[in-house]
Amino acid sequence: MNNNYISKKQLFMIMVLFQLGSSVVVLGVGARQDAWIAVLVGMVGGLLLSFIYTYLYIKNPADISFEKILTYLLGKRFGDIITFIYIMYFTYVVARVIADIRFLIHTTVLHETPELILSVFLMLPMIYAAYHGVEVIGRLAELFFPLIIIIFFFIYLFLGTGESLHLGNLKPVLGHGWGIIFENVLKETMPVPFSETINFMNLYPNVKKEEKQEIRKPVFFSVIFSGIILSATMGVNIMVNSLHVFENLTFPILTTIGTITIGEFIERLDILAIIILMVVNFFKILIWLYSTVEMSISLFGLSLKHRPKIILFISAAAILMSVNLGSIVEHYELGSKVIPPYFHGSLLMGVPLLLMIIAFLKDKKVYIKGLK
């Protein structure tokens, strides 16, 4: 695994696919018809968070993991406790995203398939990719990234040349003021997906060493690129479905793409939405899983021969959690009202900000010497 490196280009692709993830389903709904604005403002917040994450990485030697940064800056005992909390939380998020895909497949295609069977088969390719490491993940991103971008391009093209878009559904712009937008940004559009890129602190050490100092460029561009796609998608969803319908749809992108008709013989293109959701959520689960595995190995000081067992153990735990998350209503209620303020806010934003302040206050030479 020592030669398991990816390029800046591959990092950009992986990060875009990861950030699209389950967020492309629905995002910013609390901001009502200004959901697309809330996503853009959340993107700006995501750039600030990306600065914090990359600051912590650039300040360190290239091979230092997130777990070791936590241990050094917070002390061995407290750092280990926080790392363990991150591992538990990351495993739970893996379970949540598995549930997202399972609900999609169960609703649209395999209505009678048991949830456990679906979850197991969904995890098998992620387990395989996580075992082979970031080089394989990078190559998969190079394969799927162009496909997803082409699909999005044609979706926007077909919708734009059709009669499905109604600009009036976006009015009045800022009808409820900036207050509801900023509230939604803090609760939803900045935590998900932009704060979740903290995972990539476990992948940054695998970027080619000669590209370390330039790592901010692909990271920042990925946040901007995915933010624009997500904002456009939310805007299109509202223009096609109307605000009332958008707020009550579980998978609005399916309904939106389902309205596309080309001539009088090509329709029911919602299969494109299913392809998008399957691919981007594959990368979302994969990166959460990979990050959890890397932090577990680092925390417990395990050798690489234990890697397959750790991957299987964490995957099994995530699968069991995913099938016990309750109904789809309970799942989304928990994900929108409980998880962001109490976990995203503290672990994905609060702790990194604290780490940056501590690292900044330490003398640079002492900081690097301690990590070595």
The confidence score (pLDDT) of residue 223 equals 96
- What is the distance between the alpha carbons of residues 17 and 222, in angstroms, rounded to a whole number? 9
The confidence score (pLDDT) of residue 2 equals 47
Bigger pLDDT: 25 vs 148: 148
3-state DSSP assignment of residue 63: coil
Give 225-266 as a 3 state SS string. Answer: HHHHHHHHHHHHHHHHHCHHHHHHCCCHHHHHHHCCCECCCE
- What is the distance between the alpha carbons of residues 73 and 355, in angstroms, rounded to a whole number? 7
Which residues, 6 or more positions from 126, have their beta carbon under 8 angstroms from its beta carbon?
Answer: 282, 285, 286, 289, 315
Bigger pLDDT: 355 vs 24: 355
pLDDT tens-place string over residues 11-66: 999 999 999 987 887 787 888 889 999 999 999 999 999 999 998 888 766 567 88
Share of the chain above pLDDT 70, in %: 89
Domains of the chain with CATH codes? 8-371 (1.10.4160.10)
* Least confident window among 2-6, 158-162, 167-171, 244-248: 2-6
- What is the distance between the alpha carbons of residues 239 and 357, in angstroms, rounded to a whole number? 43
**pLDDT, mean over the chain:** 86
Of 156, 153, 154, the closest CA to residue 165 belongs to 156
Q: Specify whether the CB–CB gap between 184 and 38 falls below 8 A.
A: yes
Q: Specify whether the CB–CB gap between 370 and 73 falls below 8 A.
A: no
